[in-house]
Structure 1
């Protein structure tokens, strides 16, 4: 049960099963064993075992939003959208969104935002310190973690607008989703600044890279980072940034503000203070 395998490899036994289950999630993750019920898998409660917690608390966000509150009060009357309404609206298993799991897309027309994104992609090891693609980009493509063409992104967005307009006006739906897009940019601005500060410590030689690793912070080392400042950076990315943008798309202002953006701002203050202290202690001139 340690690590990601508790959800992402549940029940997988062979390559065929792996190919049939998206992100390593086989049929019985949703249609549970001994019953294999379609009705069960159509209920939002079927999603919460995996879609909750540290880096993707979608269950908590949705269940405490107005949509989730109506569902709790009225039950499955159809008045409130559920996970399945928005993400499996056509009755298929194509559970994808325009922004993907990490809220990253390429290309980007907003030059300022693209600058933030390049820094984040470097932190993810998708680009190297010089901005050149690495083998991790192939993993992103294979896993469809991000939308890598304008057409792919827009197709997913249009599909979601189509879901929203079953209850709301098109203008309301587009404005709400557009506001969530803006929240990603706000979060990315903070994230890029934090990554740049830690990258500077590598450049100055204050943080030494592990053997065979580039002299740049790696957001995917998770809790295996060797310095407190990199631990803060990791939590800022995978917990607080995720909550800021996912909360926006799940219409939960508390997650956006207090569990997301405010925590990111706090993280950035700590990273600045820690970096300044590390520079002083090293005797390195700024």
Structure 2
């Protein structure tokens, strides 16, 4: 049966591509974008593709009126996909940037989700909530700690929600992409250089830039996002599936090994 799916962060990257794919598969999509200038171009793209089941709205998570409006819409699946990332050493990053990253990636999606699931429960509706987490929700590489810690938080929230909402017939999942080449990770890496300064920080700009560039030059840092998009198109509307969905399989195996090794990690 076709479902109606609300997707946050559908203005670019995984969100946009998967939203279009989900609509092509016959589901009704409410694709939400962060800023107003993204609305009309995405509507035009949907029209060109002949997707009459593709609705585009603005949903800026930092705007309480946008959140309140979205909570009134009728849909079957809430896909919390929108996010933002801060990079750089956690021992030097300005704390206000850490707070802002948690606001966008954790607190505001939770606020949206609370209103949605409370409405579903009141109406005896059995919906589904999906969170875009990350491979970084399950391990922590240096200089990505702020961003991936928000994803660690989402993992805990999603796991709690799965248990708490199960009696009401509401399902919860996470999707954990590897380092696919969408531009998201690359621009996140750039964020550190707007505050990092050689004259005031111990970490030097050239050293940090080289570390990022070396990673993005590896095959693991430049994976084709089509694989992940195709998986999202199938996972998000599905009635059944795994709670945690790590893609690709090689990253799932790496994370399992990392978590096992954590028990013998020495200081």
With the length of structure 2 as denominator, give the TM-score of the two structures.
0.35
Report 1 or 2 for greater relative contact order, CA contacts < 8 Å, sequence distance ≥ 6. Answer: 2
Indicate the structure with greater helix content.
Answer: 1
Structure with a larger share of its residues in strand: 2
TM-score, with structure 1 as normaliser: 0.33
Flag the structure with larger Rg.
1
